[in-house]
Structure 1
Amino acid sequence: MGNDNARDVVPGKDGGWDVVAPGAKRASAHADTQAQAVDRAREIVGNAGGGEVRIHGRDGRIRDSDTVAPGNDPNPPRDKK
């Protein structure tokens, strides 16, 4: 894909779920439920040009992943005519 943009949805240290970029020290987002965190991760990755969302279980193991297409660009390139 050429784009290494990714986010992991992992259990939060103090409860809830965190959206974390690989290698990051801080979470990109936090949510009360895993479903809310997955939705936010998809939004972040889509807005950044697409990439992977990896969903971890409470045991820390990856249980699912999703490839996200690029989001809606508010300034898309002009079509050449």
Structure 2
Amino acid sequence: MSKNQHVTPRQGQWAVQGEGNSRATSIHDTQAEAIDAAREIARNQQSELLIHGRDGRIRARDSYGNDPFPPKG
């Protein structure tokens, strides 16, 4: 089962953490670096990427899972 990947602020840095995990997968100096790392994991696991702002609220999300409604044609 794939886990959604969250990019969250952590003590002046940015963490990548799988949903339900108690520990971060990786810590990065910039949000952009964390997003790149989390995007790669989400693609490999066909899961969602949820990007949190400095306030901790979700500000963006991308889905890399299988599309239940693929385009026809």
Q: TM-score, normalised by structure 2?
A: 0.79
Unaligned runs of 5+ in 1: 71-81
* Structure 2 match to 1:25: 22
- Counting only pairs closer than 5 Å after superposition, residues 1-81 of structure 1 correspond to structure 2 as 4-12=2-10, 14-48=11-45, 50-68=46-64
The amino acid that maps onto 1:20 is Q
**Partner deviation per Cα, 1:1-52 (whole Å, 9 max, x = no partner):** xx6531110001x32100011121100111111011011001112122x110
Q: Give runs of ≥4 in structure 1 deviating > 3 Å.
A: none
Aligned to 2:71: none
Q: Point out the structure with max Rg over C-alpha.
A: 1
Question: Which amino acid in the other structure matches residue 42 of structure 1?
Answer: R
Identity %: 45
Residue 69 of structure 1, CA deviation: 5.1
Q: Secondary structure at the match of 2:24?
A: coil
TM-score by length of 1: 0.72
Q: Match of 2:25, as an amino acid?
A: S
Q: How many pairs were matched up?
A: 66
Cα-Cα RMSD: 1.7
Structure 2 unpaired stretches of 5+ = 67-73
